């Protein structure tokens, strides 16, 4: 990353209270950017608030689907760069109540892009997507030019957002790039139903981590600091190298079984007696999922700096501090 690129640059982050949004806000502040965060709900326990970063950025309260609000933000703050992270990301919630997921993930995307195309100060837009848009594929790993086969509300909503984003590039020449990340983890994820946050909380409290499946599912897990490095590098390169309309997978290319992830968490916790409790109740998930990140490495020069063990070590340190005072 080029730190000088961000000095005094007006940046809008949608979804800044989320896991990646919180850490991205922090890194951009370190690099001297003028960060504006769009916040729908006050989340007092988010990393953005917990770290104190929220008091150091400009915040606007409102909904990503509010067109007039977005036009005002882009115009009044003279936004140059947009990181579009706002989304309803919890798969179980999307399956239970899909309308709010469709509203935020799909309408929220076209509303933001329509406002952006009408604002002359916007120079680059990064849309954060997910490997789930690929759905079930005959072959692995997922590569960027595969068809999008999402079949459940969350997957479909993000796939729609990707297609809408690319349509704005082709039709309106919008300066935009898409990243599709694998499973992002790190301190600040408070969705305890997810594997890593739930397992972290268990080991910190001296309890056995719970695995809902049989533990054999293989996924790629990427540390949040590597992801935000990918986001920022893509935004920088978008302006410098004309990567308009490109899609980049962000992952470690090292899929790991759920059981091995939990065993690593137990190992770094220093409490080997906490054998995982395997429920073997989840059998609807695709057995193996991972991406090929070689395009990001070749065109962006992006390469993850944290392996699973080192990332989990840092993540566990965060949860130990957080859970002691919570």
Angstrom distance (rounded) from CA 263 to CA 201: 14
Comparing CA positions, the residue from 225, 277, 273 lying closest to residue 252 is 225
The helix/strand/coil state of 150 is coil
134, 142, 154, 319: the catalytic one is 154
Residue ranges with strand state E in the chain: 10-14, 34-39, 58-61, 81-84, 124-130, 176-181, 183-185, 210-211, 218-219, 221-223, 247-250, 256-257, 277-278
Which H or E run includes 99?
Answer: helix 98-102
Distance from the first to the final alpha carbon of the chain: 34
Residues 292, 163, 136: CA angle, nearest 5 degrees? 45
Comparing CA positions, the residue from 50, 31, 49, 29 lying closest to residue 39 is 49
> Are 239 and 208 within 8 A, CB to CB?
no
Comparing CA positions, the residue from 204, 209, 190, 317 lying closest to residue 261 is 209
Sequence-distant (≥ 6) Cβ neighbours of residue 72 within 8 angstroms: none
Is 154 among the residues known to form the active site?
yes
Q: Are strands 58-61 and 34-39 parallel, antiparallel or unpaired?
A: parallel
Q: What residues act catalytically?
A: 154
């Amino acid at each position: 990353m080029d730190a000088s690129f961000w000095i005094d640059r007006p940046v809008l982050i949608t979804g800044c209270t989320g896991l990646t949004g919180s850490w991205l806000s922090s890194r951009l502040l370190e690099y001297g950017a003028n960060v504006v965060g769009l916040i729908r709900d006050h989340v007092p326990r988010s990393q953005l608030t917990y770290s104190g970063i929220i008091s150091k950025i400009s915040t606007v309260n409102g909904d990503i689907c509010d067109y007039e609000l977005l036009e005002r933000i882009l115009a009044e703050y003279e936004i140059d760069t947009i990181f579009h992270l706002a989304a309803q990301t919890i798969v179980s919630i999307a399956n239970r109540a899909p309308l709010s997921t469709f509203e935020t993930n799909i309408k929220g995307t076209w509303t933001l892009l329509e406002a952006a195309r009408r604002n002359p100060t916007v120079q680059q837009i990064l849309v954060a997507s997910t490997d789930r848009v690929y759905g079930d594929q005959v072959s692995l790993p997922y590569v960027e030019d595969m068809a999008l086969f999402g079949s459940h509300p969350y997957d479909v909503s993000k796939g729609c957002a990707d297609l809408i984003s690319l349509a704005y590039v082709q039709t309106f020449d919008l300066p935009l790039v898409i990243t599709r990340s694998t499973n992002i983890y790190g301190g600040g994820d408070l969705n305890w139903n997810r594997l890593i946050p739930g397992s972290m909380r268990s080991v910190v409290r001296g309890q056995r981590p719970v695995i809902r499946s049989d533990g054999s599912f293989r996924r790629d897990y990427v540390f949040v600091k590597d992801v935000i490095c990918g986001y920022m590098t893509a935004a920088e390169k978008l302006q410098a190298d004309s990567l308009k309309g490109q899609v980049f997978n962000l992952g470690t290319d090292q899929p790991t079984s759920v059981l091995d992830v939990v065993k690593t968490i137990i190992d770094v916790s220093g409490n080997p007696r906490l054998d995982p409790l395997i429920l073997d109740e989840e059998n609807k998930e695709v057995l193996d999922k991972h991406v090929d990140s070689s395009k990001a490495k070749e065109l962006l020069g992006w390469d993850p700096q944290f392996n699973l063990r080192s990332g989990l070590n840092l993540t566990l340190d965060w949860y130990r501090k957080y859970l002691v005072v919570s």
